[in-house]
Amino acid sequence: MVSDLKKLTQRPEYTQKFNSMSGRHGWLRLTPAYSLKIVEEILNQDAMAERVLDPFCGTGTTALGSITRGFDAVTTDINPFLVWLTTAKTRHYSQEEVDDTLMAGAYALDLVENAVCCADPPPIYQIERWWGPANLGFLCCLRSAIDMASQGTASSDLLKIAFCRTLIRLSNAAFNHQSMSFKQSQPMLPLDTNPADTFRQDYEHVCDGAAERIRGNSRAYVYDARELCQETLGTFDLVITSPPYANRMSYIRELRPYMYWLGYLVEPQDAGEMDWVAIGGTWGIATSRLNDWQPYYGFEHPHLSDVSEAMRASKNKNGALLANYVLKYFDDIFGHFRSLRSVVRPGGRVHYIVGNSTFYGTVLATQNIYADIMREIGFDDVEVRAIRKRNSKKELFEYAVSSTARG
């Protein structure tokens, strides 16, 4: 294994970068999205499957990849914005709906030009860091113009996705770190770029994707993956997913501009509350609550005990808090796997794409704990395969942990 790991490279084709050129997959970017290529390779390998589940949907890579190939898919996420996005990405659009959206986009720009309507800016903290006055004014008018111009769910959803693309392109957000941060200067668009042209390009791009034909059907649900239930979801013969990693990545942090503009976040404390119910979340209140956290599912594992002890013993002032973070992460993941067992048919295959972590010099071998949990809850033929190096840190890798549900 060690010599294999030494040969592994970062393989950008196994990251979300691969998705940006793949039609609807490229509509909105999320740094921790995984690659369509990974999903396609697994679908090729398990081509006899009928129903595919992704319990950690994110931007819907699994669901969209599956239905494009004619599989039926169900996907769940705790974040309602991502479920809305995935529902829109996986819908079948008629040519009439696409044409209506193109007309509604043009009409929305007319409304903006004629200053017919204007929404208030969303309550984003230090909003002036995100957008200069002119672009912010444009976005406020465009946001309400889209509501006035679009008729029906299809064109409303497509224009809102285009709006999300535009708001990021007009912003000072940069993606050169693990997730979103701010650029030092103004937006990277050429100086003479008109915001209306940016939105026009974006809705035309989204409409091109909507016009693509897909074969299978998908349903996306707002759902807690620790409580998967056969009665509501049915059973599956293939699970392909990328759960949150134990790395303190906050999806809410990266998604907050979209979520505020579209009304999924309203009060400043909403973000922390949503991250607290998400597995692995640590935004705002979700971090301080870790101090009082108590195990819920009672998960224990020798490697986890060793790592959490080492974290507590480290000289870092956050060592004890982050030890609780890691313990809670695995308690939640164990809760997820326990509920997963009831929705996977005997002989069904599951594939988890997950990264390991380091805390204060101690490596947390998440992939091995996943493998042990799978064995414990009733999966056989457990295989752990390293697929890529994560970044410049030599210890960080991404793994596929795969297994078969016992009969």
Ligand X SMILES: C[S@@+](CC[C@H](N)C(=O)[O-])C[C@H]1O[C@@H](n2cnc3c(N)ncnc32)[C@H](O)[C@@H]1O
Binding site for ligand X (CB under 6 A): 30, 32-34, 56, 58-59, 61, 76-79, 82, 224-226, 242-244, 251, 278-279
Nearer Cβ to ligand X (30/140): 30
Nearer Cβ to ligand X (79/356): 79
Nearer Cβ to ligand X (59/402): 59
Long-range contacts of 26-29 (CB under 8 A, 24+ apart): 26/209, 27/85, 27/89, 27/161, 27/165, 27/205, 27/206, 27/209, 28/59, 28/85, 28/161, 28/164, 28/165, 28/258, 29/168, 29/175
Residue type, 241: T
> Considering only CA atoms, which of 327, 329, 370, 330 is closest in space to residue 239?
370
Nearer Cβ to ligand X (85/109): 85
Contact assessment for residue 220 and residue 90, using Cβ atoms and an 8 Å cutoff: yes
Q: Residue 198 has which token pair? A: 């940016």
The CA distance from 159 to 108, in Å, is 9
The CA distance from 130 to 170, in Å, is 9
Q: How far is the CB of 373 from ligand X (least distance, A)?
A: 16
Strand partners, 398: 355, 388
Q: How far is the CB of 398 from ligand X (least distance, A)?
A: 11
Nearer Cβ to ligand X (58/122): 58
Q: How far is the CB of 251 from ligand X (least distance, A)?
A: 5
Nearer Cβ to ligand X (139/327): 327
Beta-strand (E) ranges in 165-311? 173-174, 181-182, 218-222, 236-241
Nearer Cβ to ligand X (195/244): 244
Q: How far is the CB of 9 from ligand X (least distance, A)?
A: 21
Contact assessment for residue 76 and residue 87, using Cβ atoms and an 8 Å cutoff: no
- CB-side neighbour CA atoms (13 Å) of 172: 14
Q: How far is the CB of 76 from ligand X (least distance, A)?
A: 6
Nearer Cβ to ligand X (244/348): 244
Contact assessment for residue 387 and residue 353, using Cβ atoms and an 8 Å cutoff: yes
The CA distance from 261 to 199, in Å, is 15
Q: State which residue has the least CB distance to ligand X.
A: 58
Which stretches within 77-152 are classed as H helix? 80-89, 95-113, 127-130, 133-149
Nearer Cβ to ligand X (140/364): 364
Who contacts 93 (Cβ-Cβ below 8 Å, separation ≥6)?
154, 158, 210, 211
Beta-strand (E) ranges in 130-217? 173-174, 181-182
Nearer Cβ to ligand X (12/346): 12
Q: How far is the CB of 59 from ligand X (least distance, A)?
A: 4
* DSSP 8-state class, residue 115: T
Q: How far is the CB of 250 from ligand X (least distance, A)?
A: 10
Q: How far is the CB of 304 from ligand X (least distance, A)?
A: 19
**256 phi and psi, to 5 degrees?**
-60, -35
Neighbours of 148 (CB within 10 A): 13
Q: How far is the CB of 44 from ligand X (least distance, A)?
A: 18
